Amino acid sequence: MNTIHPPLDPATRQLWTQLQQTLEVVSARHPDAVFASSFGAEDMLLSHAIFESDLPIHVFTLDTGRLPAETVAMIDVIRQRYGVAIQVMRPDEAAVQGHVAAHGEFGFYESIELRKACCAIRKVQPLRLALKGHSAWLTGQRREQSQTRAQLADAEYDGVFGLQKYNPLAAWTDKEVWSVIRALAIPYNPLHDRGYPSIGCEPCTRALRPGEDLRAGRWWWEQKLSKECGLHAGNLQES
């Protein structure tokens, strides 16, 4: 695509150039690499870098069936902006219905075990299918996001899914992410402007209150150290 960008300040240009170089290295090492996007700010930044450089990294998303309308709408936003049709992975409907029948539509509020079971059906299993046969995947995780991600590596072997995992934004700050997004006019989920720095399923996400950390709105009824859904289970194992 290689869109002509407006002049960038030196710090922003350096961040952007380093990210492009990192993604080029990853795609050269792993021509079959894939990127799981939730359409959050970090993921839109990575998607923009992938599309702008015409990299062979395949971008997909997980539609749990319970995403906010604003998140689902980002599929069309990407299609219109970049001319790319994002692959959408969905959970097994029979598994979803079985879980709901056994535990209720909102059973995940009752215990961490039931919440993780819901995440496993709606997110982890579709992700496992999407990653099958690939040698590497990328995420938009950052160390600054939460305690469970404080020791996040730039690159690591993902023993849960059995492939290499890259976190190109691991060392980035929230300020740096948004400086690049705004400088390059990258589209983003409008919920970010309403107090949602981290956006998941609608029943499991709320806006932040003053003084809360960036992921406090995710699974807001749980304790901090439980706040991973299974997509990045290694974070909990390391913490």
Is 204 annotated in some ligand binding site? yes
Is 216 annotated in some ligand binding site? no
Q: Is 108 helix (H, G, I), strand (E, B) or coil?
A: helix
Is 17 annotated in some ligand binding site? no
Cβ pair 37, 50 in contact under 8 A = no
Is 210 annotated in some ligand binding site? no
Q: What is the distance between the alpha carbons of residues 200 and 7, in angstroms, rounded to a whole number?
A: 34
Beta-bridge partners for 171: none
Long-range contacts of the stretch 75-79 (C-beta < 8 A, 24+): 75/39, 77/187, 78/39, 78/47, 78/187
Question: Catalytic: 229?
Answer: yes
Q: What is the distance between the alpha carbons of residues 34 and 5, in angstroms, rounded to a whole number?
A: 26
Q: Which of 78, 177, 229, 231 is catalytic?
A: 229
Please identify every residue annotated as catalytic: 229
Annotated binding site for [4Fe-4S] cluster: 118-119, 201, 204
Known binding site: residues?
Answer: 118-119, 201, 204
